[in-house]
A = this chain, B = another copy of it.
Amino acid sequence: MLPIEEAAIILKLMGDKTRLTMLKLLEGDSCCVCEFVELFGMSQPAISQHLRKLKDVGLVKEDKRQQWVFYYLNEKHELYPLIKCVLSTLPSQHEKLLQLTKDGKRIECCSIKGENSQDDKGTNVRD
């Protein structure tokens, strides 16, 4: 496919306020599905379907930890320079995550990079 056509596909996917906000959030940290459900106030299937689209074109990758699925930006994507430059023009969405933490809704999952803290499961919090 022509590079400009590939770029158009990526831009169309980013041209949705929910997905664009998701990507901006993922610029700073990984998030799991239930955090997005909480943040956007949308149904869980709606969130899953947005993430599926982002995953299908390789914009995000997933990391299954315990009962959660964490999504993160795929910095190896062929068009990552395009993605990065778009995200860099957007205002930070980090305060949304801070609020989630304050509300005790942030998921803490300790198996990051293979580690596992057996005595820290459940509704734990990060940030």
Which A residues contact B (CB, under 8 angstroms)? 2-5, 7-17, 20-21, 24, 79, 81-82, 85-86, 88-91, 93
Pairwise interchain contact A16-B7, C-beta atoms closer than 8 A: no
Q: Which residues of B contact A90 (CB under 8 A)?
A: 3-4, 7
Q: Of B5, B81, B86, B93, which is within 8 A of A11 by CB?
A: B86
Pairwise interchain contact A89-B82, C-beta atoms closer than 8 A: yes
With A11-B20, A14-B11, A14-B15: A85-B79 Cβ-Cβ less than 8 Å:
no
Number of copies: 2
Pairwise interchain contact A85-B89, C-beta atoms closer than 8 A: yes
Shortest Cβ gap from A81 to chain B (Å): 6
Q: Which residues of B contact A24 (CB under 8 A)?
A: 4
Alpha-carbon separation in the docked complex, A91 to B91 (Å): 27
Since A4-B21, A4-B93, A5-B17 are in contact, a sample of 18 more A-B pairs with Cβ atoms closer than 8 Å, ordered by chain A residue number, is A2-B17, A3-B91, A4-B17, A4-B24, A4-B90, A4-B91, A7-B20, A7-B89, A8-B16, A8-B17, A8-B20, A9-B15, A11-B11, A11-B12, A11-B14, A12-B15, A13-B15, A85-B86
Alpha-carbon separation in the docked complex, A89 to B88 (Å): 14
Alpha-carbon separation in the docked complex, A2 to B92 (Å): 12
